[in-house]
Chains A and B, each alone.
Chain A
């Protein structure tokens, strides 16, 4: 039987395209008509016996994406070994009004095209809807009828890698990644992420007050340097201090008198 000159699409491709069209329609982005030159969507080969993810523990695809970008580390029993974006309340970061516009203006996001800023703005729910829709399309390219949140982690990561390399998808993952790291390291609604990377807990989160640099004991008690004997505390090994009487060794042969004056300014 001779093949038709027009490319016959597989059932899987048809499903994928239909799903994609449905998503585009739902987001108001109608594809251009007559786009006969659009490349066929390449689907990965089926691998019998490939790991199938357990039923998703994620609320939606965005939730799963955030866990891919900045994962929670779990042990075999499901205990959290180290927190990720979800524990750090990435939803709280995404709820920041005009997040995309102000994150872009603050350099947290690279400068985005105005069209992208408009597309991804309009509130957390709107952004989430757009991102969920895009993730559905991307997931369908890899595995029809599977939600992104239900894909194996390796496939999810590959989707994210591909999205970073794709001009159209990059803004979406950049925004999601920015939200994850802002939540984790920005002390937006908690300091979980900062503590995970070695920072001390906030002194008063309500008052927006991180720990001061004043000397403390090993147990964290603030030392009053005007009334307490730092030397005695240090001698007991009870001073959690990072400067106490440290002085660097001199550098042999480096004469600074030609570049520095007595008050510490360059000549």
Chain B
């Protein structure tokens, strides 16, 4: 069994872990004792540059291992899907699917670079008379940290025309078509703010883009961390954490080199940053190793009140009477959005590139027509029937022809909304990993999704096209790429969460959670920028000892 000691161990390398690695790593260099920092990542090193021992296929001409393929042999290295195999809503159908990045860079290796600040009212949400976010957090309080992240990720606002911006910073034809659809229903699309690395990009996995041009955390925060001497191990899955007299012991399996080698590493300061599902699952597995005095979950809130960030995706086609093909696979995967409905209905719409493979197989949306096009709501309609009374089939020549028509004219879009956090993360019944579920949808969330689906359907129809059947209306399945919560932040002394405003466990000094898991509400926009800004804020307070014990003292 491998082992050892590091002063600081960070589990996970996404928008929480990468920021903490960069900031704490840089700070550690300034301390007299030069404390060591280790990042453990269960996925691979797609950059080919962070872990010399990483396995994972040949490095390509761009110097990394990323490939444009959807072969599951490859995609299983960069992403994973969590689901609820019990099918709690409808027999045989999962009730929630969560896609998460896997590898150095976490979610950033599968994200589209969308970098919007969360609206002020996201932080001001109240439930049962209690503000969901701790009082420390507001849009204004996070503003300087948003600015830091934007600077490091190279965030800028895209433009519509070549006259306004370089070619690689333009919205796409897909967005132009979307904007016209919005205009026809009285709404407006505007260019998005995006993190990119100076590339025109390609709407292709993962999530498109020329490898060296697409932005992810291996090019900025993680590179900074490496340059500060932070050690990074890929292929190391942490299975449990447990308290020791002076810190924590982390146990798991190191799969580099092909063999599964168990490891136990001790540390003084532990930062858990495995994402909403990963971090919640790790702590759920570890609860029994903490006694009552150091209970990890004194309020029984672990895994509870998980948000899907209101994600709801649909696909469809624009009509042939509309002058343009969409060519949705060209250009950046996401580059405009429609904020017109946010004031009244608390959602934004975003057109995006979705791989036809996933649409053809119907995990989140399908290429089938709904029986009742205007239906909305969970499990509200089924598959359309043809003239002979038979349901449309998701196979065969007719289906292939639809796919071939769909290619140039496909328009996929989704909403992100302020949902009411109805999800839950629990230990998997199969004994490994986690299940995620979404048993009931509140009236609040349902109303927002109904309004969003109605708006999206009207856009398709305004463009002479039609919206296909999505998995929520068909099977009741919620699908999200933006899970939030599971280890919610709370004020100390308030039994409404798992960690305090610095992400520190309420009863375990030096055990932090810093990632999507601590976000206590839906944000209504893509959350990566906010997760990173919260991490910047926590790192800053830890380093300065502002409102919490300074990192140097914790390591003394």
Given A82-B404, A242-B331, A263-B157, verify A160-B79 contact (CB < 8 Å): no
Q: A129 contacts the other chain (Cβ, under 8 Å)? A: no
Specify the chain B residue showing the minimal Cβ separation from A111.
Answer: B85
Contact (Cβ within 8 A) A254 B187:
yes
Given A161-B393, A259-B343, verify A245-B163 contact (CB < 8 Å): yes
Chain A hits for B394, CB < 8 A: 177
Interface pick from A47-55, A68-76, A143-151? A68-76
Q: B186 contacts the other chain (Cβ, under 8 Å)? A: yes
Specify the chain A residue showing the minimal Cβ separation from B174.
Answer: A242
Q: B547 contacts the other chain (Cβ, under 8 Å)? A: no
Given A186-B71, A213-B200, verify A251-B360 contact (CB < 8 Å): no
Chain A hits for B61, CB < 8 A: 204, 207, 209
Interface pick from A10-18, A131-139, A194-202? A194-202
Contact (Cβ within 8 A) B339 A266:
yes
Contact (Cβ within 8 A) B76 A106:
yes
Contact (Cβ within 8 A) B83 A198:
no
Q: Which of A102, A161, A186, A244 has the most CB atoms of chain B within a 10 A radius of its CB?
A: A186
6 closest residue pairs by CB, A with B: A208-B67, A198-B407, A242-B173, A248-B179, A197-B407, A186-B70
In the bound complex, what is the Cα–Cα distance between A242 and B167 (angstroms)?
11
Chain A hits for B356, CB < 8 A: 185, 197
In the bound complex, what is the Cα–Cα distance between A256 and B343 (angstroms)?
10
Chain B hits for A243, CB < 8 A: 161-162, 167, 170-173, 176, 331
Specify the chain A residue showing the minimal Cβ separation from B362.
Answer: A110
In the bound complex, what is the Cα–Cα distance between A182 and B363 (angstroms)?
14
* Nearest CB in chain B: distance from A61 CB, A: 16
Contact of A265 among B99, B117, B167 (CB under 8 A): B117
User: Can you report 19 residue pairs joining A to B where beta carbons are below 8 Å apart?
Assistant: A73-B397, A82-B400, A105-B72, A105-B76, A106-B76, A106-B81, A108-B72, A110-B94, A208-B67, A212-B200, A213-B332, A231-B162, A244-B162, A247-B160, A248-B179, A251-B188, A253-B186, A256-B188, A267-B120
Q: A225 contacts the other chain (Cβ, under 8 Å)? A: yes
Q: A130 contacts the other chain (Cβ, under 8 Å)? A: no
Contact of A246 among B161, B404, B406 (CB under 8 A): B161
Interface residues of B (CB under 8 A from A): 60-61, 66-73, 75-76, 79-81, 83-85, 87, 92-94, 97, 99, 116-120, 157, 160-163, 166-168, 170-173, 176, 179-180, 182-183, 186-193, 199-204, 208-211, 213, 327, 329-332, 339-340, 342-343, 348, 355-358, 360-361, 363, 393-397, 400, 403-404, 406-408, 430, 524-525
Q: Which of A107, A181, A215 has the most CB atoms of chain B within a 10 A radius of its CB?
A: A107
Interface residue tally for chain A (C-beta within 8 Å): 75
Given A197-B406, A247-B161, A251-B187, verify A107-B71 contact (CB < 8 Å): no
Contact (Cβ within 8 A) B407 A71:
no
- 15 extra A-B contacts, CB within 8 A, seeds A197-B407, A264-B157: A71-B400, A99-B72, A103-B72, A105-B72, A107-B363, A111-B84, A177-B394, A184-B357, A187-B69, A198-B407, A209-B68, A213-B203, A243-B162, A243-B171, A252-B186
Q: A62 contacts the other chain (Cβ, under 8 Å)? A: no
In the bound complex, what is the Cα–Cα distance between A177 and B393 (angstroms)?
12
Specify the chain B residue showing the minimal Cβ separation from A170.
Answer: B92
* Nearest CB in chain A: distance from B239 CB, A: 18
Within 8 A of B (CB), among A227-267: 230-231, 242-254, 256, 258-260, 263-267
